[in-house]
Chains A and B, each alone.
Chain A
Amino acid sequence: AQSVTQLGSHVSVSEGALVLLRCNYSSSVPPYLFWYVQYPNQGLQLLLKYTSAATLVKGINGFEAEFKKSETSFHLTKPSAHMSDAAEYFCAVSGSGNTGKLIFGQGTTLQVKP
């Protein structure tokens, strides 16, 4: 079984500041891990994914995440926040290969202040 916990339902940063969104996972099999972004009234868009290759994963819009097995974490970072990054972010996990369903965390709303 898989599950995801996102720490902090709301995160507020100033424009230009570091963005850090936290995600911890639980999985009984080697996981695939994902970060998705949702803008208002839109569907979810994939930011990046970890599928057992490099542990540091780079995604779109300057985001990256690092898979840390010892900490069961997959935190999302961006060095410098932009106003357009304001959105809701979801971490998700699935079983590797062709095995599992995609399970989402509760989401973190990112606010970017001018």
Chain B
Amino acid sequence: DARVTQTPRHKVTEMGQEVTMRCQPILGHNTVFWYRQTMMQGLELLAYFRNRAPLDDSGMPKDRFSAEMPDATLATLKIQPSEPRDSAVYFCASGPRGNTEAFFGQGTRLTVV
């Protein structure tokens, strides 16, 4: 059963610490999305990649956030330094060629204290 895998599922960290979230997209999918979900803002697109190249990261605070795809089986989202306002659920999703749909992981619930 192919699925998007995100690690960790939960993360509690202190303000100022670096946080790294990982995502394993579905094998063969060429598009990867990172979303952030909060009560206030809903689902915000942070960045997305196609064939491992970043296509759009305009939704991401550049001073502290970075997203990469070291290889086709791993996408990472880093926050350095983390702040309490970064507390949210971060979702990774992957999609096949043609943008016909996106499959979501279970999310990483981040709490910055």
Chain A residues close to B by CB (< 8 Å): 32, 34, 36, 42-46, 49, 51, 90, 94-107
Contacts and interface: CB of A to CB of B under 8 A. Distances in A.
Contacts, number: 55
Given A45-B104, A49-B101, A101 B33 contact: yes
B103 A97 contact: no
27 contacts: A34-B101, A43-B4, A43-B91, A43-B104, A43-B105, A44-B93, A45-B104, A46-B103, A49-B101, A94-B99, A96-B99, A97-B98, A98-B97, A98-B99, A99-B99, A101-B45, A101-B55, A102-B45, A102-B48, A102-B93, A102-B99, A103-B45, A104-B42, A104-B43, A104-B45, A106-B42, A107-B42
Contacts of A105: 42
B111 interface: no
Interface of B: 4, 33, 35, 42-43, 45, 48, 50, 55-56, 91, 93, 95, 97-107
B7 to A, nearest CB: 14
A95 B42 contact: no
B25 to A, nearest CB: 13
A5 to B, nearest CB: 12
A36 B101 CA distance: 10
